[in-house]
Amino acid sequence: MSAREEVLAAVRAALVGVVPAPDPPRAPQVRPPRDVVAHFAERVADYRAVVERCARDELEARVAAALAPASTVVVPPGLDLAVAGAVEDAGLAARELEEFEAVVTRARVGIAETGTIVLDHGPGQGRRALTLVPDRHVCVVAAGQVVLDVADALAVLDPRRPQTWVSGPSATSDIELERVEGVHGPRTLHVIVVDDAQPLD
């Protein structure tokens, strides 16, 4: 027998006489806060990420200010924002991405309860390496993209697309449990919540 057949046969044999479990109950959902976008911003800030809210017409200036410490900026194809001096990613090698200090992207969805931004790496978000290698990630989330909790995010996300769920800057507590921000991912995460209702789909 092949390994496949043998493993599957062993699984079946182990379950002889075992009845399938009933469908799991839906997990309990949290009570919506009065202002879900404010809740999102608070929870993102809890991770020691930089977070700010702005109106649509302020956005480009806010992005420029968030990028100020960086002199080299890369942006994904399809970004609907003008970023002065930025280079658009056209399949840069990882070593070339290393040369950039910052990256600006959109996101797919924001999760309020956990303070998470989710990238599905569609237009304006770039492939996964783009938001990984540069040391500063400025991420624009539209207020209309913010959902309450994990279940709401899963409902709008397409599992066939690769995704990166980001909750604060990378961190480790491996040495004496002292939290250190920024091990391998961007050491600075700067989230700008723009008050427009960009539809989720």
Partner 1 sequence: MGGAGVTGTFVGMPTFPVAARRALGDAQLRHNLGQATATIRAKRQRLVEEVDAAVPTSAADPQGLGGWEALRRAGAAVKEAALRSLPEHLERLEAELVANGATVHWARDAAEACSVVAAVARAHGVREVVKVKSMVTQEIGLNEALEAEGVAAWETDLAELIVQLDEDLPSHILVPAIHRNRAEVREIFLRRMKEVGRAAPDGLGDEPAALAAAARSHLREKFLSARMAVSGANFAVAETGTLVVVESEGNGRMCLTLPEVLVSVVGIEKVVPTWEQLDPMLRLLPRSSTGERMNPYTSTWSGTAAGDGPGEVHVVLLDNGRTRALADEVGRQALRCIRCSACLNVCPVYERTGGHAYGSVYPGPIGAILNPLLNGVGHDDQVDSLPYASTLCGACFEVCPVRIDIPSVLVDQRAQVVDAHRGRRRSGEAVVMRLAAATLADEGRLGFAERFTGVGLRAARRGAGWPGLRRWTGARDLPRPPRESFRAWWRRTGGGTR
* Single residue of 38, 53, 72, 167 touching partner 1 by CB under 8 A: 167
What span, in angstroms and rounded, lies between the C-alpha atoms of 196 and 92?
Answer: 32
Say how far apart CA 102 and CA 90 lie, in whole Å: 16
Stretch near partner 1 under the rule CB under 8 A, chosen from 51-59, 60-68, 101-109, 168-176: 168-176
Least distance CB 74 / partner 1 (angstroms):
15
What is the pattern of x (binds partner 1, CB under 8 A) and - over residues 132-151? x----------------xxx
In angstroms, the CA 89 to CA 130 distance is 8
The least CB distance from residue 129 to partner 1, in Å, is 5
Using the rule CB under 8 A, is 128 a contact of partner 1? yes
Single-letter code of the amino acid located at 131 = T
Place of tokens 């994904």: 76
**How far is CA 144 from its chain centroid?**
16
61, 82, 155, 197: which one binds partner 1 (CB under 8 A): 155
Q: What is the DSSP letter of 138?
A: E
CB of 138 to partner 1, least distance (A): 17
